[in-house]
A and B are shown apart, each in its own frame.
Chain A
Amino acid sequence: MATTEHGPLTVIEPVGGLVFPDLRELWRRRDLLYLMVRRDLTVRYKQSVAGALWAVLQPVALAAVFSVFLGLLADVPSAAGIPYPVFALSGMVLWLFFTGALTRSSDSTVSSSDLIAKVYFPRAAIPLAASVGPVVDFAVAFVVVVAAVLVYGEPLGASLLLVPLIIPVVLAVALGSGLWLSALYVRFRDIGLVVPFMVQVGLFMTPIIYPFSLVPDHLQWLYGLNPMVGALELYRWMVFPDAAWPGLVVLVPLIAGPVLLVSGAAFFERSQRGFADVI
């Protein structure tokens, strides 16, 4: 869009080749993004009895279950001497943030099909807004993680202040994958079954309820290819002063995130033009 003396000029043409979402347009429509995020949060919390408590209850309940069955009964260790419940809770909070952002952004285009068929706005706003809501859940739930650390009498370090930096790292991976999946979902409806399955499998392929060290040394490189492994290790290093620096594995999310984000944005933008015709 270019501005002339007669107002902005919009040109509509068939487009091929590599295209990216128009970031300036998304910025101009930031009010829309804000209101979509607020809609998602309001609706989610209005519809449930427990409201915002859900953001806290879910990780706490899951951590409690794993603490009993894995921590106590199966005697699964944690890392760096952290009490198992705190270890599991911290991991679960980050994991639920990631899966929330991934699931919501993947589902977002199909669940907004009525909008897509009836009105124009930058389509990338749909998965983008969907992935932001879980950040709020994470912020709320993280307070409980800090509380749990204090209750168990564990030390807190200055590195705790770095925790906000994990948000863009995780969000890039989640939204990047979400952009790919949400565009594919419009055409392939079994994506709706694939994503929950990926989330379930991912819980066991990421060091959430057991430590990274439990993975045999010669398989750690393969295990570390899952970008959430590096993200989780980096995050635990930020939260727990006794946790060791995870090393090169943190590069995986730092590289995979931007790669997924850029490729996902291009794929999404290419696909979105046909959404209204198939959705």
Chain B
Amino acid sequence: MSAPPAIRVQDLSKRYRLGATTTTLAAAATGLVRRLARRPLQDDALPDSREFWALRDVSLEIAPGEVVGVVGRNGAGKSTLLKILSRITPPTTGRVEMRGDVSSLLEVGTGFHPELSGRENVFLSGAILGMRRRDVAERFDDIVAFAGVERFIDTPVKRYSSGMYVRLAFAVAAHLETDILLVDEVLAVGDDEFQRRCLGKMRDVVGQGRTVVFVSHNLAAVERLCPRSLWIEGGHLEVDGPTGDVIAAYLRRVGSRQTGGVAVIAPEAERIGGEDAKFVETSLTDRSGIPLEQVALGQPFSVELAFDLAVPVDKGVLEVGISSPEHGRVATVQNIDGGRPGLVLDPGAHRFRVDIETTLLPGEYSVDVALHVLPSLTLDWVERVLTFTALNLAEEGEDRWPWAHVRGALRPDSRWIRLPAGDRTASRS
């Protein structure tokens, strides 16, 4: 008889209520009074619009020692799956069984306290991740050596460079020795040299016969580490199989392959349009053209487009759209905005950059690109070519979205003017 699965997931679903958020006692009391008075709020009248299934009826089994990658677009549900497996959030329905000690690594540096020394943080972070003090003490020298911070181990980590901080934080997590390891995107930190070492460490982990679930946007890393992969799309398990097949199917659907803010668009990507024009690359950059994976709150960002044209075009219109999984298309910019003339383009390769002047509220976004010709011809149109995260963190300063749930997607510049209180608009004429 074969061993029982290390992880068995049955009909797992997770529903988020978009209305369930923090509130004040006064608001809760008014809500209660209204409900008691049987005067439903407008919100209550539309319960479905405020619900969102992040995961729907997912079932799967993972054998002991298997290393499984999870791929999918931002907001597709892969992080929700990992959060349920990690017991951070409960499922709405369904059941998970896991055999063996489980540890999860959703963020590097969880539980690090800036005031504490490197040594103190290693023990604290290890304990938070599930290690006993004795286990940490045994591996302490290895952890410090792996991170390469021996000289600073008794210095408060607030004095560390961000590289040292991340290396030490990852080193603790890398020395977890549990039967089942759940990992989310942690390789996307540190410099190239450190990323190579992390990948090496992950490969060691994989070689030890432990069960690993690895969520990543980094398809190359998934290909290298995981023989089997799951593709989660719209909360469903779309494909489950050998990684090569899953990634090929995923790329066919997504149509692009993204690393570090640059998406290379495959010729066979799902697109609208003929052979006359093809987008080949799109990237999200800062104003100096450096690719960005994430946009800080208020950080100016740009989109670069590269496309090949087989025919000459006059009155060409380039379009860049920003969409979010919750709100759909939230912004569209075109080179003809404001009555500017269309583009005159010769056949050949072209490259454009558009600087977008708006602030995105924190959340997940995707970029759509299109090339049209006035008055009504679309030469090429690729949706969700690129995904990125807008952070709730300014590059510098205190700017933040302070509430638990983000309302809306765009934050246009605004000016606030204090007016005399008695000055009613209605009395002006």
Contacts and interface: CB of A to CB of B under 8 A. Distances in A.
B22 A115 contact: no
30 contacts: A6-B3, A6-B4, A6-B64, A7-B100, A7-B179, A8-B99, A9-B97, A10-B96, A10-B102, A11-B96, A12-B87, A31-B133, A34-B133, A35-B123, A35-B124, A35-B127, A39-B124, A114-B110, A115-B110, A118-B107, A119-B86, A119-B111, A120-B87, A189-B24, A273-B90, A274-B20, A276-B89, A277-B89, A278-B21, A278-B404
B85 A12 contact: yes
Contacts of A189: 22-24
Contacts of B4: 6
B342 interface: no
A148 B285 CA distance: 67
Interface of A: 4, 6-15, 29, 31-32, 34-36, 38-39, 42-43, 46-47, 114-121, 186-191, 194, 273-274, 276-279
Given A39-B120, A188-B22, A8 B101 contact: yes
B84 interface: yes
Interface string B306-326: 000000000000000000000
Contacts of B87: 10, 12, 120
A10 B88 contact: no
Nearest to A11: B97
Interface in B19-38: 20-26, 28
A228 B422 CA distance: 51
A182 to B, nearest CB: 14
A53 B97 CA distance: 50
Contacts of B3: 6
Nearest to B182: A120
B384 interface: no
Interface residues of B, number: 51
A43 B133 CA distance: 20
Contact of A35 (B97, B100, B102, B133): B133
A9 B101 CA distance: 8
Given A120-B86, A188-B28, 12 more contacts: A6-B3, A12-B91, A14-B92, A31-B132, A35-B123, A38-B120, A118-B88, A118-B106, A118-B110, A119-B128, A188-B25, A279-B404
B355 to A, nearest CB: 33
Contact of B22 (A7, A46, A186): A186
Nearest to B131: A31
Contacts of A186: 22
B98 interface: yes
B154 interface: no
B129 A119 contact: yes
A9 B98 contact: yes
B95 interface: yes
Nearest to B124: A35
Nearest to A30: B132
